Structure 1
Amino acid sequence: MTVTALGVPRRMLAIRLDGEETRVPEGATVLDACRAAGRDVPVLCHGEALAPRSTCRLCVVEVEGSPALVPACSRGVEPGMEVRTDTERVRHSRRTVLELLASAVDLSTTPGVAGWIDEYGARPDRFGPAAARLDEGTRVDNDLYAREPGKCILCRRCVDACGEERQHTFAISVSGRGFGARVTVEHDAPLTESACVYCGNCVDVCPTGALSFRSEFDRRAAGTWDETAQTRTTTVCGYCGVGCGLTLHVQDNEIVKVTSPPDDPVTHGNLCIKGRFGHQDVQNRG
């Protein structure tokens, strides 16, 4: 007889979300509850398979009894909790966050931001042309990915993916303070002189395009990158016997990017250098 472990059942908690009662599993976050109820709560620094850092503060909501707005991505639900997601106080906070971020960094390749700026009436230009910006040059020192510091919002997702939450390589970290803080390798050396193993997990979790695959970077520079024209095919990596799940992004009959589903039971979104970048032989037409 085969016994299947189902895990510990979680009780359901009743909360009120924008005046409507909803039930969510114990241990869920307010963001989980919002998504389950169809509430569109914007997020930047939050990502699947990574612990929430509550860095960007874009997902803040009002919770009855809390004197300050709370980040939905990390606040756990409690029985009887009263949550409001679209009050003027919440909208004002999100509008200000968007204005501060968009006035300081380039968010042109950040999915969803243009729509949020329009939805919340954000005006990043109101700070004027003299507003300090992270106008730093692009770093392309290898054949696999590019770094654009001017797009970085310091969410630290790449640091977590490189460190104890995923790869355990610890090749990158945040150095400096205040407006001078940057994600760098040791001594700000070229990536090729660091401990980087080129797994690309940091690129995969970057929400703004500050880290991008070289194939995407080159196509964007040439004006040929078009996600709407790309197909996605899920398959299994053939380099070894682990059985990692891959998603092949194909445009113009060419693999332009390889990712892995966050819910894949083997990878949980992580890949090694072979799985993520070793696809050149597939399209070698020589």
Structure 2
Amino acid sequence: MTSVPLGLPRRRVEFELDGETVHALEGDTILDACTAAGKDIPTLCYGDTLTPKNACRVCVVEVEGARTLAPACSRRAEPGMKVRTGSERARHSRKLVLELLASSTDLSTTPHVAGWIEEYGAEPGRFGPDAATVGDRGAKVDNDLYVREYGKCIMCYKCVDACGDQWQNTFAIAVAGRGFDTTIAVEHDGPLPDSACVYCGNCIEVCPTGALSFRTEYEMRAAGTWDEDAQTETTTVCAYCGVGCNLTLHVQDNRIVKVGSPHDNPITRGNLCIKGRFGYEHVQNVQGSE
């Protein structure tokens, strides 16, 4: 019988979270502990299948004795530490970050942001209307599968990591430019079909703002027919090969409008290939012929 190697046991870490004693496993982050305790900490650049980049700083918390606020998504829980998630300093920082992001970026398709802006009393408009033009380069519709809208990009680097050494190892996406001209781009900022992109769509899976989206979603939003409340989600197994990747089908009006994959699946961890992510048109053709 072949033995299955098990990970080393982890010690329990005891610390104070908002005045209450909580426990976490050694190596867990403050965000992990907050999630386990039922505390809602806003996050944008955090991805549950990626290494934290600490880019957006929306999840900052106050750690007693620390000079600066700590990003909850990457700061490890330590024995005896005292953490405050709703201190005036932390809330003010989140408010300012949300104002800066919302004033210069189109966050209209970013989940939960409207609620956070209301919760923290953020006023993005105080930076003036010209701030919204900083990152807006229009939508790039240069292929049949997905669309790039850089005006919605918050430079969280999740797509770069998913395309790079953390998952796909294609390295088609990188950071280009400096300062206000910094952007996410393929090589030479050319059309997607001329790049090294293999159209796995894993960058779409991790994008938190909708800057990368299925072309079907983009066109339906433009037509005003996109309705997430009317969509159902069904998890199934991809039929293209024997790997056994799980697919989550998003269906609206009896048609598949986009495909994802469960992040907790031990095979895919949210990742797919071009066939699993985009190869569903044959289903629509069958439906149409009945």
TM-score when normalising by structure 1: 0.97
**What amino acid does structure 1 have at the position aligned with 2:125?**
D
Aligned residue type for 2:148: R
Q: Separation in 1 of the partners of 2:283 and 2:130?
A: 49
Q: CA deviation at 1:6?
A: 4.5
User: How far apart, in 2, do the equivalents of 1:4 and 1:200 lie?
Assistant: 32
SS in 2 for 1:8: coil
2:262 is the counterpart of 1:261: yes
Letter matched to residue 207 of structure 2: C
Q: 2:70 aligns to what?
A: 70
Does the Cα contact within 8 Å between 2:186 and 2:192 map onto a contact in 1?
A: yes
Q: Which residue of 2 aligns with 1:199?
A: 200
**Aligned amino acid, residue 233 of structure 2:** R
Q: Which residue of 2 is the match for residue 52 of structure 1? A: 52
Q: Which residue of 1 aligns with 2:22?
A: 22
Aligned twin of 1:79 = 79
Letter of the aligned partner of 2:192 in structure 1?
L
AA at the equivalent of 2:128: G
Q: Deviations over 1:180-220 (max 9, x none)?
A: 00111111100010000000000111000110011111111
How far has the Cα of 1:252 moved from its partner? 0.5
CA distance in 1, matches of 2:7, 2:126: 52
What's the RMSD between the two structures over aligned residues?
1.2
SS at match of 1:131: helix
Give yes or no for contact 2:105–2:132 (8 Å, CA) kept in 1: no
Gaps of 5+ in 2: none
How many pairs align?
286
Query: Residues of 1 paired with 2:2 and 2:274: CA distance?
Result: 37
Cross-structure match for 1:111: 111
Q: Which has the higher mean CA deviation after the structures are superposed, 6-15 or 236-245?
A: 6-15
In 2, distance between residues paired with 1:246 and 1:9? 32
Instruction: Render the CA deviation track for 1:229-272: whole Å, top value 9, x for unaligned.
Output: 11111111110011111111111000111111111111111100
One-letter amino acid matched to 1:65: G
Secondary structure at the counterpart of residue 129 of structure 2:
coil
Shift of 1:137: 1.2
Q: Is the 8 A contact 2:234 2:250 kept in 1?
A: yes
Which residue number in structure 1 is paired with residue 161 of structure 2? 160
CA shift, 1:95, in A, is: 0.3
Name the aligned partner's letter for residue 118 of structure 2: D
CA offset digits 1:59-94 (Å, max 9, x no partner): 000001111001000000111110000011001000
CA distance in 2, matches of 1:278, 1:129: 41
